[in-house]
Structure 1
Amino acid sequence: MAASLLCRRTVSVYFRLSSCKPALHPSLQCGFLLQTASYNPKPLKLNLRNPYIPDKDSERTPEWQKTAQYDRKLYGRYGSASGVDPASLWPSHEELDRIIAEEKEWQPSLEVMLKNIEAREKEEAEKRREKEKIIAANMAKMPKMVADWRREKREAKQKLKEEKARREKLLAEARERFGSSVDPRSPKFLEMVAEIEKEEKKKRKLLKRRLREEQAAGAGPTPAASS
């Protein structure tokens, strides 16, 4: 008991000192060898004279011991003593076709991998070229787009200014007509606005009719032609 404790302490001191000093003291080396020599793994016991071979015809044998995978395990452990025919361990034609198909799908050859990489790089290059074309086309349209945006902004600002001026004009006319300030949401004010819009519409119609009459009169025969 004391010797075992001494060996454990010696190995502990050895591991502490080995991180600081490259050289090992002979006493520490001896203690380390004594500690490692005490480890004795048990050998794997194989009963080659009377190995356990499950009876596949028995109902008491588990199903997993009746599979081909377990037969391969038995043959790998006991060899010919397992009674397993080595020819039966090879995959069938169907299993071999499935294995080959899986290898082709998940483990393609180097040539196939290079072709896949080349096709993917070609596709990515084509996508990049298409994207660059779209960017170039949009950049070419950019001056016109900026000009249109500025024009729309000016028009919106002008329209807002005109609406504000018209609103102030209507409010001033309402004060003049009713003698006091009127709420723009009141029915009285809305009725006045409807009347004004009706009058303006009538004036526009009269103006268009007058212009058409003037154009028709100007398109008549000239005095030289009539003579």
Structure 2
Amino acid sequence: MNLCVRVRSLRSNLIGSFYRLSTAPAEIDGEASETVLIDDSDDAQAREEQIEKKRNVSRLAEAHYNLVNGQRPYEVPKALAHLTVKYNRKMYGKYGSASGVNPIQEMMDTAAKNRREQKLKILERDRDIADKFEKKERLVEEVRRHFGFKLDPRDERFQEMLVKREKEQKKKERLAKKEAKENMMIAKLQQKNVEISGGNIVVKE
């Protein structure tokens, strides 16, 4: 019986010492060993993707599922149409920077240029309208001076005289344009004559 107790105590001492040795921190040359971290973020991400796929019980295609959830339908272009500028503009307009499309600086410059041109067109049109309005006012004033007294603009005589003055003014403008065009043609012809005569002159030595 005494022998049995000794074996049991020896066994427990032996197991205890093994346990102490296995759990004690290993030291190399008196320095503590470095802790090694295992990066399992890829595994966790893959596991998360699998869980997300299992959550998708709608049985929609990936593109349709993305559309329903407010994401870009395709991460990688699947057709030639997905490579066009129009498609990329549409994606950027709808999803912003999440679309993965980078707007080019040139496109932004072009848009700014178009806005400036549009503003200039509007200003020019406003100036043109103001000039026409001023011209009309002058015509009305001329007609009033012709009659010598203030006349209602809705009166027939006033309207007739106004139409007559407008026709006269248009005729003057047409004649001025025609004259300017003729002068320009004459200048061109004279220049051609000078060039032709200058080319035919032969210098004799």
Query: TM-score normalised by the shorter chain: which range applies?
Result: 0.3 to 0.5
- Specify the structure having the higher radius of gyration (Cα): 1
Q: If the length of structure 1 is used for normalisation, what is the TM-score?
A: 0.40
